[in-house]
């Protein structure tokens, strides 16, 4: 069964916050989504929940009018990526991530043709530094240079947007221009625990640095009151964009 993709509303500030459902089971995820209610409109499902019933749960959310970002970071031979992307588009997802390799990006763009799915490219994983790239077999290249090169390739291949740290958003924006989306994790409301995120910024800083959407998981899903946490972040985004 194909579901239509729920459209992002430019006038609805809630769509700027993507709530990361980094949660082990559908039951727990459903409970969090229910508690958040109308305060949250956009949810991200990554490996953990996707492989624990999360695809069916994505359909459930889309059926309720929510937007879903499937953070699957696809990378395979072109034929497989294209077919996989076609299936994700039928699910009615709004965003899907792929690794920013040219073959993979070309195949993803072909797979989503004729649908409203948007493809986001992950340039270089933020856990990789220059030494990790050498260990992975790359000739010495800085992570920053590789991010820039891949952002340019994503733009040239008509990818819809880039996932990057807010601290990289300005340099990525200069490469991809005003019409591509920039989606940034590593966001922490003032006073929140950084967890394992190193280059964190507040929601207001993320928006000021040029992010179109912010991804926030633990500060919301682990909060005593997830709905209040969502409302506080949406308020901060609204004040920054006003
Ligand atoms: O809990 P927290 O807000 O740090 O979660 C951020 C989300 O964004 C997680 O789902 C994480 O996998 C994702 N992410 C990230 N850094 C990246 C890409 C994705 O934190 N570079």
Query: What are the pLDDT digits (tens) for 51-84?
Result: 999 999 999 999 999 999 999 999 999 999 999 9
Of 10, 18, 71, which is closest to residue 184 (Cα–Cα)?
Answer: 18
Class assignment of domain 10-241? alpha beta
Q: Which residue's alpha carbon is nearest to atom 19 within ligand 1?
A: 185
Looking at the CA of residue 185, tell me the nearest atom of ligand 1: 8
> Residue ranges per domain, the chain?
10-241
Query: What are the pLDDT digits (tens) for 11-60?
Result: 899 999 999 999 999 999 999 999 999 999 999 999 999 999 999 999 99
Calculate how far, in angstroms, residue 215's C-alpha sits from the geometric centre of ligand 1. Answer: 7
Calculate how far, in angstroms, residue 185's C-alpha sits from the geometric centre of ligand 1. Answer: 5
Please give the model's pTM, rounded to 2 decimal places: 0.96
Q: Which residue's alpha carbon is nearest to atom 12 within ligand 1?
A: 46
- In terms of residues, how long is the chain? 242
Cβ pair 175, 152 in contact under 8 A: yes
Query: What are the pLDDT digits (tens) for 121-180?
Result: 999 988 889 999 999 999 999 999 999 999 999 999 999 999 999 999 999 999 999 999
Can 73 be counted among the known catalytic residues?
A: yes
Q: Which residue's alpha carbon is nearest to atom 18 within ligand 1?
A: 185
Catalytic residue among 73, 90, 222, 227: 73
Give the number of other Cβ atoms within 10 Å of residue 98's Cβ. Answer: 25
Looking at the CA of residue 196, tell me the nearest atom of ligand 1: 4
Q: Which residue's alpha carbon is nearest to atom 14 within ligand 1?
A: 185
Q: CA 231, CA 99: separation in Å to the nearest integer?
A: 32
Parallel, antiparallel, or unpaired: how do β-strands 17-20 and 213-216 relate?
Answer: parallel
Q: CA 242, CA 226: separation in Å to the nearest integer?
A: 24
Ligand 1, pocket residues at CB < 6 Å: 20, 22, 46, 126, 163, 185-186, 195, 197, 215-218
């Amino acid at each position: 069964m194909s579901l239509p993709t729920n459209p992002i509303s430019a006038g609805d500030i809630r769509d700027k916050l993507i709530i990361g459902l980094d949660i082990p089971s559908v039951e727990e995820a459903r409970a969090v989504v229910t508690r958040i209610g109308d305060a949250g409109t956009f949810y991200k499902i990554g490996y953990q929940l996707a492989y624990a019933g999360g695809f069916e749960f994505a359909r459930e959310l889309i059926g309720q009018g929510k937007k879903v970002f499937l953070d699957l970071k696809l990378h395979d031979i072109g034929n497989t990526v294209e077919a996989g992307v076609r299936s994700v588009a039928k699910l009615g997802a709004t965003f899907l991530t792929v690794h920013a390799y040219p073959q993979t990006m070309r195949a993803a763009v072909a797979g989503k043709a004729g649908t409203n799915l948007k493809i986001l490219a992950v340039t270089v994983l933020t856990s990789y530094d220059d030494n990790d790239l050498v260990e992975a077999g790359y000739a010495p290249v800085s992570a920053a240079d590789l991010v820039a090169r891949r952002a340019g390739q994503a733009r040239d291949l008509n990818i819809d947007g880039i996932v990057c740290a807010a601290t990289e958003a300005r340099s990525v924006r200069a490469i991809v221009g005003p019409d591509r989306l920039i989606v940034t994790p590593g966001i922490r409301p003032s006073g929140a625990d950084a967890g394992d995120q190193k280059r964190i910024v507040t929601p207001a800083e993320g928006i000021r640095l040029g992010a179109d959407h912010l991804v926030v998981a633990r500060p919301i899903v682990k909060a005593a009151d997830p709905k209040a946490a969502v409302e506080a972040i949406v308020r901060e985004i609204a004040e920054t964009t006003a």
